[in-house]
Structures are given as C-alpha cells and as structure tokens.
Structure 1
Amino acid sequence: MFSRKRPRHVRQDDAPQSDALAYSMTAGDPQKPEFGPWDEQWAPEGVARLDLGSMQIPAVEGVEVRVQAGQDGSVEHVVLVSGAGAVEFGVFAAPRTDGIWDEVRAEMLQEMKAGGLTVREEHGRYGTELVAQLPDPQGQLVDVRYVGVDGPRWFVRATFQGPVATDSAVSPVLWECLEGLVVARDDEPRPVREPLPVRLPAEMADQAQQQQPD
C-alpha cells in the first residue's frame, strides 16, 4: 500500500475527518463515535473478538477469518471472507492530530493511474474511497475498494475485494466487521505508516508452530 511499486494483483472534494480523529484533535470530553473502527477506549463491551494485539476483530456469524503468520507468531495478512467477497485489514501508526488517508490515497491514485489501471474516487460512509480493478494472480480483473480510516495515532486500511467492493449488499457482514473493529495502539513511538504489531494469540501461535514441517 505504501510502496511506490505498481500493484500486481489482489493481495495486498477531501475526505472528512473520522469521528475518532475529530475527537483526538479536541480537548473536550470524550465523544464516542457512532460506529467503528473503534479506538480501544471506546470499544463496546460484551462483544466477542479475536484478539490479535493491536487489531481486535469482532466475531460475526458467516465470516471466516484467515490469518497468515510467520513462525514467530507475527501476522502478515488478515483477510475476512464471506461468500464471494473478502476484506483485508491493516493497521498502521499515524500522527496524533493529523490524518494520513488523504496523502496515502493521493499517492495510490497517482501510482495506479500511472500503471494504466482503472481507478476512481467515490464518496462512501468513511469519506472518500478508492475503487479500482486489479488483476488477480490468474490475470482476471477483480473489483477492489480501498477504505481509509484515520484514528488517534492509528490508521486503518480496509481492502474490499470481489463483488462486495462495488455493492455492499453482497456481503454486508464484512462491513459489519469493519464497523466493529477495535484498534489497540500501544504507547511506543513509531514512524508514521509503520504497521502496528499484530500477533496470533499464544494458543494459536503454538498450534501454528506444531503444524510447521520439520
């Protein structure tokens, strides 16, 4: 997402501030946003979630969570699948008071157009989003929607793939997962755009290690 290389396949008006970012820039009383992604301080209680460290994914019926992790338990890709649609989540460090989605989106738009890809901006629930057609590993064009959400010291990128990228009614549960996502930003100083640490729970990491071939 943040490289200047041409995207190769699907694996990887200005937008208004998100509610979370708008609050982070004020000194008033906390105002809980209408919907997520939530900062940890606003996370609704009583919700079952898969805890991946800085990213906590709500358990939603009909959604399969696929996680690609290294042998040390660090997570490289988090993809949620429902029917013919999928969404990949990524969480990154961001400034406390300035959002980065406008800048990131402009870079992505320029790079994809320079690469001859079909891409356009659309206004959605989270502000300005990017909709594109990218070739999958088999060379078939796939609809993709990039959604960026600026939060207090974090940034979420959601990449919707397949029919859900152009019609949210196809797999509304995937959007429900984005609205219920919780970001737990640590206090470590991190460069802007650095991925926040995402790791498997200890029991899942142990299982993954046991399944590794000798």
Structure 2
Amino acid sequence: MIFSRKRDNAGRHGGDESLGSYGSDEAATPARGPYDVSEAPADVPRLDLGSLQIPAVPDVEVRVQADPQGVIQQVVLVHGENALQLGVFAAPRSEGIWDEVREEIRQSLRNDGAVAQELPGEYGTELRARVRTPDGPTDLRFVGVDGPRWMVRGVYQGQAATDPGAAGPLAECLDGLVVDRGQEAKPVREPLPLRLPREMADQAAPDEAPREV
C-alpha cells in the first residue's frame, strides 16, 4: 500500500530557528540535523515514522510505501519535480559507515555501467551518478550522514540531483530530520524499523484502498 501526506504551511525548521530555540546553555546542540533524538529541537511539528521523524515543511509531500502490517518499505519526500528518498541504518558506536557504504554504491553503479563521481557537499563527500531507467537517463545524488550509532542515506532525484541549490524544501527536511535509534543492539547496516503513524495505519485495513491523506 502507498500512502502520501502533503505538508501545507505546518511550520518550518531551519538553521536560524534551531539556533534561536536554544540559548547558551544548550551550546552542545547542533545548529542543524539530521539530529539524534537526544539532541533534537523541541516544539517542531514532525511526522513520526518510528526511527525517523520528518519535519513538517510547507509543500513537501511525504510518500510512504508500507506492507499490510504497516511496516514501511520506502519513504520518499517530493517537492515539485524533485524527490528525496530516505533510509536510516544501524552503525557501530566507534565509527561512521558512510565512506564504506558510498564506495559500495559506487562499485555497484559501475558494475551496472553507470559513471559515478564523488564531490564535496554540505554533509561531506557525496556521490553523483547518471543511471539508465526505462524512462531514460536519470541523475541521482547520494548523501550520507553519520550519527551516533546510525547513518542516514538520502538519494536526490530531479534537478536537485545535479544542483544542490535546487533542493530547497527537501534539503530543509534533511536538515531537520530526527533519528530515534533506540537502545537495542542491531547488526551494522541493518535498516532501523519504520512504522506508519496510527492515523495512517488505520487506513491499511484489508478491504480499504490506499488513499491520500
């Protein structure tokens, strides 16, 4: 089942706001995310998907694909012609895994005949590639963010894949993302569990067709 939710003027989360929410006694709080749940700014409207909490940003549609049990298989944010697919994974306590994961993605793309290029980005080294699809060539931009025992991977499509400045509200969503890793031991790189919010899960009744909320 596929559900989608469009965020309309429900509030913003940007760098200036996050700084303004914390005084000098909260100097350890990062100026922007993705945040660990232990350090996320309060009073920001978010869609709670379990391990991921997505900030409410105007005109950004959250598309969630889930199985009949409400377990989320895919999360994609859409704004205009641009899209951002999100994933969150377990990582070791001692080090990040994005460098290793990025190299594996690059090798996989190369094996599929795509040319991938590493470039500096706001979060460190990014990976950009043009891949073949049934609809023609598609540009992708892979972004990775290492956090405390987790890693967020984002994949941009559309103009935002080649021009980071075009990401706009999608980049704002990534900056305001919150990860709730939990305390359970998990294998490195295992996807962290995502679930539908109650109001969306209620729509997953067997006889009910998917609809937009």
Whether these two folds match at TM > 0.5 is yes
Name the SS for the 2:94 alignment partner: coil
- Select 1:40's aligned residue among 32, 37, 49: 37
Identify the residue that residue 62 of structure 1 maps to in structure 2.
59
Residues of 2 paired with 1:78 and 1:168: CA distance? Answer: 20
Identify the residue that residue 50 of structure 1 maps to in structure 2.
47
Deviation at 1:35, TM superposition (A): 1.1
Identify the residue that residue 193 of structure 1 maps to in structure 2.
189
Q: What are the equivalent positions in structure 2 for 1:86-125 lying under 5 Å apart?
A: 86-125=83-122
Higher strand share goes to which structure? 2
Is residue 174 from structure 1 mapped to residue 195 from structure 2 by the alignment?
Answer: no
Q: What are the equivalent positions in structure 2 for 1:4-19 lying under 5 Å apart?
A: none
Deviation at 1:188, TM superposition (A): 1.0
Residues of 2 paired with 1:76 and 1:137: CA distance? Answer: 22
Structure 2 residue identity aligned to 1:108:
I
Name the SS for the 2:41 alignment partner: coil
Name the SS for the 1:169 alignment partner: helix
The farther-off stretch of 42-51 and 110-119 is 110-119
Whether contact under 8 Å (1:121, 1:128) holds in the other structure is yes
**RMSD over aligned Cα atoms:** 1.6
Deviation at 1:169, TM superposition (A): 2.8
The farther-off stretch of 201-210 and 54-63 is 201-210
**TM-score, normalised to structure 2's length?**
0.82
Unaligned runs of 5+ in 1: 1-28
Deviation at 1:164, TM superposition (A): 0.7
Identify the residue that residue 162 of structure 1 maps to in structure 2.
158
Name the SS for the 1:121 alignment partner: strand
Unaligned runs of 5+ in 2: 1-25
**TM-score, normalised to structure 1's length?**
0.82
Residues of 1 paired with 2:90 and 2:182: CA distance? Answer: 10
Identity %: 55
| Stretches of 4+ aligned residues off by more than 2 angstroms | 135-138, 168-171
Whether contact under 8 Å (1:83, 1:171) holds in the other structure is no
Whether contact under 8 Å (2:60, 2:78) holds in the other structure is yes
Residues of 1 paired with 2:27 and 2:73: CA distance? Answer: 33
Alignment coverage as a number of residue pairs: 184
Residues of 2 paired with 1:193 and 1:30: CA distance? Answer: 31
Structure-2 change in CA distance of 1:46 and 1:62 (3 Å): same
